[in-house]
A and B are shown apart, each in its own frame.
Chain A
């Protein structure tokens, strides 16, 4: 499958921005969010994208 959202990573403050059928990871702060997104991207061979609203998504292209 191409261009699939594999996961979303956000923080407590923005947790209500993500809904639906996707794995959501809630981080304590922005630094943890970025680190988690980077690790998920590496593990799942995807790429992390920043939606610039406090949510990062991992997409496999």
Chain B
């Protein structure tokens, strides 16, 4: 009996440790600057730890036929749904004062990621404790290593660099209209602003590889996310009330190519291109017309028209 209890304890501890480790590995603070504050770390690590301990209890409880203990797992899953609204609320509040906002789509994406990370933690803790109970603690350790790796892999999405070719574009004016290559961006009335834009601004064009990519770049939320991330990485000269310098993304209606203008702190076109390449494709923007026969037919038709 004591040996059995010892095994359960080992399984719970292993599951807990693996869950917390998984949450820690997924808690990366990068240029998106979120969550970069120590309090943000503590909130997410604590919630991850709670998720891990509850999930690792499930298998020993099931074996002991303590079914009430398992219902706690359901309760806790309910609790973690609040994480999404917590993230959304915080980011939406910060958004009100932002010069270049993230946009609702990006915020929703971030909020969803935070919620799903907790479910991954629960899954890791549950499986690790199951391995430790069913086989032995060594198997639990091995499962922990594999599952933490898998969970990090699962959180990886695709990037703008995967769906579109990004090149430097030429900024120019036709009277008061600002263009990047052949895409109209905006009307700038002030001649001194036009000069500054030509001198210090950077123009890039995003050419989608296929219709799926075109659909992504068509989403206003995705475009706002691209502008936000470029501005975070390369800086932006825009100040409150100075709308001439606000970054801008507009598409070519015929080709779906996206033209972008930004005014970074330091003019480096290559840096802007690299920044745009690593913007994540938002879940809400990801559409796949090519997965449907109608979309494929249209793409085929377009290709044959181009050849003709």
Q: Is the CB of A34 within 8 A of B243?
A: no
**A13-28 to B contact mask, C-beta < 8 Å, 1/0:** 0000000000000000
Q: Is the CB of A47 within 8 A of B176?
A: no
Q: Is the CB of A52 within 8 A of B191?
A: no
Q: Is the CB of B175 within 8 A of A41?
A: no
Decide: A47 near B244, CB < 8 A? Known: A34-B190, A37-B189.
yes
Q: Is the CB of B189 within 8 A of A56?
A: yes
Q: How many residues does chain B have at the interface if contact means C-beta atoms less than 8 Å apart?
A: 15
Q: Complex Cα distance A47/B188, Å?
A: 8
Q: Indicate if B192 sits at the interface (CB-CB under 8 A).
A: yes
Q: Is the CB of B243 within 8 A of A47?
A: yes
Decide: A46 near B243, CB < 8 A? Known: A34-B190, A37-B190, A41-B190.
yes
Q: Is the CB of B240 within 8 A of A48?
A: no
Q: How many residues does chain A have at the interface if contact means C-beta atoms less than 8 Å apart?
A: 16
For window 229-267 of chain B, which residues contact chain A by CB distance below 8 Å? 240-244, 246
- Most chain A beta carbons < 10 A, residue from B189, B190, B191, B246: B189
**B155-192 to A contact mask, C-beta < 8 Å, 1/0:** 00000000000000000000110000000000111111
Q: Complex Cα distance A60/B240, Å?
A: 12
Identity of the chain A residue whose Cβ is nearest the Cβ of B240 in the assembled complex: A45
Decide: A49 near B243, CB < 8 A? Known: A37-B189, A41-B190.
no
Which residues of chain A are near B246, meaning CB under 8 Å?
A: 61
Q: Complex Cα distance A13/B163, Å?
A: 52
Which residues of chain B are near A47, meaning CB under 8 Å?
A: 188-189, 243-244
Q: Is the CB of A45 within 8 A of B241?
A: yes
Q: Complex Cα distance A52/B189, Å?
A: 9
If over half of B's interface residues share one DSSP class (helix, strand or loop), that class is named, otherwise mixed; here it is loop
- Most chain B beta carbons < 10 A, residue from A41, A47, A48, A61: A47
From the candidates B176, B193, B240, B244, name the one contacting A52 in the complex (CB within 8 A): B176
Q: Indicate if A38 sits at the interface (CB-CB under 8 A).
A: yes
Q: Complex Cα distance A37/B176, Å?
A: 14
Q: Is the CB of A34 within 8 A of B240?
A: no
In the assembled complex, how far is the CB of residue B196 from the closest CB belonging to chain A, in whole angstroms?
A: 12
Q: Is the CB of A38 within 8 A of B190?
A: yes
Q: Complex Cα distance A49/B190, Å?
A: 7
Q: Is the CB of A38 within 8 A of B192?
A: yes
Q: Complex Cα distance A54/B148, Å?
A: 65
Q: Complex Cα distance A46/B189, Å?
A: 11
Which residues of chain A are near B176, meaning CB under 8 Å?
A: 49-50, 52
Which residues of chain A are near B193, meaning CB under 8 Å?
A: 38, 48
Q: Is the CB of A61 within 8 A of B243?
A: yes
Q: Complex Cα distance A3/B193, Å?
A: 20
Q: Is the CB of B240 within 8 A of A49?
A: no
Identity of the chain B residue whose Cβ is nearest the Cβ of A48 in the assembled complex: B189
Identity of the chain A residue whose Cβ is nearest the Cβ of B191 in the assembled complex: A34
From the candidates B187, B192, B241, name the one contacting A49 in the complex (CB within 8 A): B187
15 A-B pairs with CB atoms under 8 Å apart are: A34-B190, A34-B191, A37-B190, A38-B192, A41-B190, A45-B241, A46-B243, A47-B244, A50-B175, A50-B176, A50-B187, A52-B176, A56-B189, A57-B189, A61-B246
